[in-house]
Structure 1
């Protein structure tokens, strides 16, 4: 599969990188979260699994272990037919509560099936001492057909989630259980009928704004929110970049954004997205990947390290090129470390 025509490749600005762990061919690594102690949680989307690994270990590969696999529940299905990604439980975003270290929330459900998508709480506060991982269903998002990217409004109990089918943002207050539509705008929705390709996808808060990728439209979008009320301000959505068929994203401390582009095979850096008065960014730079590099094929998500040894490094998970192989066939999925030379934007904890 060639890259989609709406995608603008970007200028070469490669940073040093290395592959630190691999998963079997056919694994679709979709998302990751970095714990305060530096270890990683990685979502395997199609298998509905969450894995642990320690990128600081001498032998990173040996630290990989499965923490959890989501299984279907007895839920009413309006559409019993498998969606474009099959009929099994998927695993999408893994997000840390910005108020409490080592408490995470993950999104899981069956592609295209209303009533199956929920938010699950993962309590890892005792994981290092006795290996215990508590995973429990926290809430259902009844109208969702495919939840994908997610992020907490910093310092609040509100988790905002991108609906990749349905094209809007929903929210869950993890303290009260209230679920609602947070932002509905046609720029978040799909443009084509490619059922397997998401509309609203990656999602991050930075400054007074939320930033969202729309993979199907090839857009990087921005909307404003109120940090006190936790509500979106109006329904205006600004196009920050076109020709960016992106997946997940991350910010550095300078306000620049890094976007994984999955079948477009690169991690792009956009400068000055958060700059005062910024309305659109034209230039983009390839910090990792390319159509000639099999080891970086299919980058889906990015996250900065959180220790003194890797705070200027960006961790990247890949699919091995499942959507768009480089060469004759997909390769193993990988976890990469890219040294970008600037710290990531900090999470907010008390």
Structure 2
């Protein structure tokens, strides 16, 4: 999610010291190699990538939050605008104060779904069918902040993480009424400073469970999907992940690649809670917002919300697949 500017100095140092990620042990080969910036983006044009969905050919779709755009980035780094969400008069999105396109998901037929946060009646989930203009398929509360988006084609639903209301919304893929699928303190932002106001942020469907990151609390959560589609109890799977934004699964297990936005890191969080730094500013990160994995390819968009320098899309390679750990 786009991050609010944070004060420099002692607070920034404290935040950096609070990160639990650690470098690989001496002599240990890095898990991620061949990192390079696939596409440098234009900050002045609002090309601040918030979320990512991959096409079958390995190209990427990015949401440009502040430009209200969805863009397509080819495997050779060319950037083309796919769609622009309609402008909204008197946008008043909580925390952001302006309209923003946030989470994105892609269906097998090429249809794209995005969250549009505006602080108005235009807030909701929008569909971008190939060749068609964007259309809203479900309304969401104007006083919320729909952030991450996950698609479950088997059940025909979308899951939306609302950062302000501490709720995971469930939306029919065909459109219609959104229902509050899961909520509670574990999904909510912290009630007082130094909280940034961002609770539930990234969301992914993985092995019959919905996983959610909570930015303020630095946690990674798992919510089982019961046989009837209802939410099971919220489980905390990892903590101490300061500034966690969105994330991805690099295999069939419970290990996660997570973007730590203000810390300019992508880390591997294993099922046992071990955290290892994989990518940093040295590889080109500049406020990473999300992660996507296809095979052994790792994609990381950086929005440069705090650094104000070089928003980009980074591409790297896993040295080996991560098993069920």
TM-score (norm. length: structure 1): 0.78
Q: Does 1:20 align with 2:38?
A: yes
**Displacement, 1:178?**
2.8
CA distance in 2, matches of 1:104, 1:169: 19
Provide the residue aligned with 1:123 in structure 2: 129
Provide the residue aligned with 2:312 in structure 1: 334
Unpaired segments of 5 or more residues in structure 1?
Answer: 125-131, 274-280, 306-310, 346-350
Q: Does 1:46 align with 2:43?
A: no
Number of residues of Structure 1 aligned to a counterpart in Structure 2: 300
Provide the residue aligned with 1:166 in structure 2: 165
Runs of 4+ in 1 over 6 A off after TM superposition: none
CA distance in 2, matches of 1:117, 1:28: 20
The answer to whether the 8 Å contact 2:137/2:175 transfers is: no
1:57-86 Cα offsets, whole Å, 9 max, x none, are 3xx2xx211111222347xx8xx7564323
Aligned positions of 1:193-342 closer than 5 A: 193=193, 197-226=197-226, 228-233=227-232, 236-244=233-241, 245-255=243-253, 256-271=255-270, 273=271, 281-290=272-281, 293=282, 295-305=284-294, 311-320=295-304, 322-323=305-306, 325=307, 330-342=308-320
Q: 1:295 to 1:232 in 2, by over 3 A?
A: same
Q: Does 1:140 align with 2:139?
A: yes
CA distance in 2, matches of 1:148, 1:300: 11
The answer to whether the 8 Å contact 1:304/1:343 transfers is: no
CA distance in 1, matches of 2:223, 2:143: 21
Question: Which among 13, 17, 21 is matched to residue 9 of structure 1?
Answer: 21
Unpaired segments of 5 or more residues in structure 2?
Answer: 1-7, 25-29
CA distance in 2, matches of 1:210, 1:86: 29
TM-score (norm. length: structure 2): 0.84
The answer to whether the 8 Å contact 1:84/1:195 transfers is: no
Q: 1:50 to 1:343 in 2, by over 3 A?
A: farther
**Displacement, 1:9?**
2.6
* RMSD (Å) for aligned C-alpha atoms: 2.4
**Displacement, 1:109?**
2.0
Question: Which among 72, 91, 102 is matched to residue 87 of structure 2?
Answer: 72
The answer to whether the 8 Å contact 1:299/1:318 transfers is: yes
